[in-house]
Amino acid sequence: MRKIYKIIALVVVVLFTISMLSGCGANSGGSGKSGESQEVKKDDYPNKPITVIVSFAAGGGTDVGARVLLPYVEKELGVPLNVVNKPGGGGWVGWTELVNANPDGYTIGYINTPNLMTGYLDPQYNRKENLESFALIANHVLDYGAICINPKETRFKDAKELFEYAKEHEVTCSTTGVNSDDHIAIMKFNKYFGTKFVPVHTTGAAEGKASVMGGHIDLYFANVGEVTVPHKNGELKAVAIMAPERSKFLPDVPTCEELGYKVYSWSARGIAAPKGIEQAKLDKLVAAFEKAINNPEHIKKMNDMGLDVKFLKGDDYMKLLKDDEKGVLEVSDLLGWKK
């Protein structure tokens, strides 16, 4: 009988010991595994495709530049980056969606100057958004303005004849939207030099190009990156560049300043995320875009299309945007804004 009791007692002790060891193992080992799993999950960003909002139509300079760059970013991040075009409102259809997106790092987008600034500075829109509504990632392109005509045009064959003609006759001009860089440039010519340029607002550069090629609009006001290829192909004829000096992409095309019309116009195109994104995720995006933008192969492809790469991040990028903001305020009278 005593032997049975001893066996039972021994079994109880063994079971209790096993139970205690299992409990300790579950707490220590389980906690370690759980902590490790949580840490992996936390540091796993990104682990699914990222949406990239382009606030202009497909085929324009922003869209084309994005599609050249993003495959290099994909290599850095290891996930697909899918372009979604959201044209309209001078860019603000897409930017409104961007600022209201979940700041989880899976929705980012291109921001363009000066359209971005005119959209929130214009008092008629009463927008609350501003530069602080975005978490800046990097600037990608700095693209100066250009003026093109249809090669079949007979009223004027170059910029000198164009400007003289436009002082006496109305000339229709494409823009990428109200208060866009193209629109502002048109108003500068009219105010300071007495031209009669008439803006025709489109959803993007591709529509403007097609309208001029089809003879529906007289002039294609766009950016160097959007006119270089059609100029070289003979689809359009670039007659002037709105830059301080001649473009390396169109060296045969004079600047407006050379012709006595000191008008500058440009668009800076960069990438941003919604405000509120975790700093660790933002840092990963900045690092990936920096490597991709500075990739020599990417730069060559961009240059071949007339797109001038200008990488900036952090304070340098914010300074560029602040300078553009200041520039918009300086021409607020041209835009008809009431102070």
Task: Write the pLDDT tens digit of every residue in 167-198.
Answer: 999 999 999 888 889 999 999 999 999 999 99
Q: Are residues 172 and 227 in the same domain?
A: yes
* 172: in domain: yes
Residue 278 lies in domain: 50-142+267-330
pLDDT reading at 291 higher than 80: yes
Count up the domains in the chain and report the number.
2
**How big is the CA angle at 135 (ends 130 and 137), to the nearest 5 degrees?**
125
**Domain membership flag for residue 322:** yes
From 239, 259, 279, give the residue that closes a domain: 259
Say whether pLDDT at 27 is over 50.
no
Statement to judge: residues 138 and 271 lie in one domain: yes
CATH at 310? 3.40.190.150
pTM of the model: 0.78
Identify the band that residue 339 occupies on the pLDDT scale cut at 50, 70 and 90.
low
**What are 102-117's pLDDT values in tens digits?**
999 999 999 999 999 9
The DSSP line for 289-308 is HHHHHT-HHHHHHHHHTT--
Dihedrals phi, psi of 242, to nearest 5 degrees:
-95, 65
Verify that 97 and 179 share a domain, yes or no: no
Cβ pair 139, 112 in contact under 8 A: no
Are the CB atoms for 105 and 43 separated by under 8 Å? no
